[in-house]
Amino acid sequence: MNEDALNTSIRKFLKEVGVTSQREIEKAVRDAVANGRLKGNAPLPARVVLTIEPLGLTHEVDGAIRIE
């Protein structure tokens, strides 16, 4: 196993996840504000679930997104 190749591949995957997730969250927040479904500036609870089935890996990250 090439550790450098693995590390590079993981970083590339996580960068793609981060960039696309940010776009989707921003779009969803703007749409919710425009449609009146989101009012105020309370933090939005968020959860990300990473699953790699062949490894039997499920990793969850809970947090909050502030929109102030």
- Paired sense of beta strands 44-52 and 57-65, if any: antiparallel
Give the model's confidence band at 40: pLDDT under 50 very low, under 70 low, under 90 confident, else very high: confident
Do residues 66 and 45 make contact, with C-beta atoms less than 8 angstroms apart?
Answer: no
Token pair, residue 25, equals 């969250």
Number of domains forming the structure of the chain: 1
Question: How many residues does this entry show for the chain?
Answer: 68
The model's pLDDT over 14-34, given as tens digits with 9 standing for 90+, comes to: 999 999 999 999 999 999 999
pLDDT band at 68 (very low <50, low <70, confident <90, very high): confident
pTM of the full structure: 0.86
The residue segments making up the domain with residue 38 are 3-65
Instruction: Judge whether residue 46 has pLDDT over 90.
Output: yes
